Amino acid sequence: MSDYDPTAAPAAVPADFGATYRPAERYGFLEANGARLRYACWNVPETASEKVKGTVVLLPGRAEFIEKYATEVVGELVGRGFCVHALDWRGQGLSDRALADRGKGHIDNFSTYMADLQLFLDKVVAPTAPRPILALCHSMGAHIMMRVLAENGSGPISAGVLCSPMTALKREAMLRSVLMLMPELPAIDERYLFGTGPFVALAREFHANIVTHDERRYRFTDQWFTADPRLALGGPTLGWGRQAVRSMTTAMAPGYLERIELPLVLISAGEDLLIDSHSHDTVASRLRHGEHFTIAGAKHEVMMETDALRALFWEAFDGLAKGVLGQ
């Protein structure tokens, strides 16, 4: 592990973000099975201006990156008295990419993501993070966190909020049908998944987007990719899709979710066109300590939604945090 590495910081910050963006106190890389994983830490005890209440482990979704959440969400968490530890998944952000074509989002197996997360928890979070530690995860990040909790136990985590967790996909049946017809070969699996391709800023028309109703927050990605092109990422590969459906099959197997011991709050987006949020009721019912809330009118990226919809997310987060903190 190389700590406090300035090369893990973004190369530049979009000019419009000065009022809300919060740079990390620490940036670093973890060496993980031949790859470097980038992480960032905020409000660490020696820099905190007031008593720290605990820590939030922030895990983004597929194609996301630390700075997208540092633009607003991290500051809101720090303002609530939390330290924040965030990770760029292998293959995105400033973590190492799997393929020579950096635009392709690829993974060999979701067990690799799981091992990366466990390493992050063991080497960065557990040794120094003030307790209690809460997980705040989005989409793919929520899926990976659930699998780690089920297979490895709670570890240092006391509770978690899972936003739009990837438990089933809207068009999963069609994806599975196509994957059955495609041979599992590198030449095939390293192609872009059908309907996706390289990131093209001009193609990102707000009116056609399926992740948020808030155009300002929708543009966070574009602005960061312009400020630091190393962050840019396109669509997933066919191999990523293959491994995603396999991982969801594993996670939904009888007795799997029932292993998770800590309290989890699942937050569904009422207008999610990526994740089949109808699966969340079933998932929550199988957890030992699961709650399920739906934010009606929200699209997939709940934390990047309009102010009114985000207020409902923060109400759910604050409710869980209050219970864990005993306030």
State residue 171's pLDDT score: 85
Asked if residue 187 belongs to a domain, the reply is yes
Query: What amino acid is encoded at 107 in this protein?
Result: I
Q: Find all residues with CB under 8 Å of 46, minimum gap 6, and list them.
A: none
Q: pLDDT (tens digit, 9 = 90+) per residue, 130-154? A: 999 999 999 999 999 999 999 999 9
Q: pTM of the full predicted structure?
A: 0.96
Is 27 part of a structural domain of the chain? yes
Domain containing 179 — which CATH number? 3.40.50.1820
In Å, how far from its chain's centre is CA 183? Answer: 29
CA geometry: angle 284, 251, 189, nearest 5 deg: 135
pLDDT at position 288, please?
Answer: 96
Domain for residue 142, yes or no? yes
Q: Identify the segments of the chain with pLDDT beneath 50.
A: 1-2
Q: Is residue 52 part of a domain?
A: yes
**Predicted local distance difference test score (pLDDT) of residue 181:** 86
Range of the domain at 306: 6-325
Q: How many domains does the chain have?
A: 1
Residue 85 lies in a domain: yes
Q: Is residue 1 part of a domain?
A: no
Distances (CA, A) of 236 to 21, 92, 142, 144, 196: 28, 11, 18, 16, 7
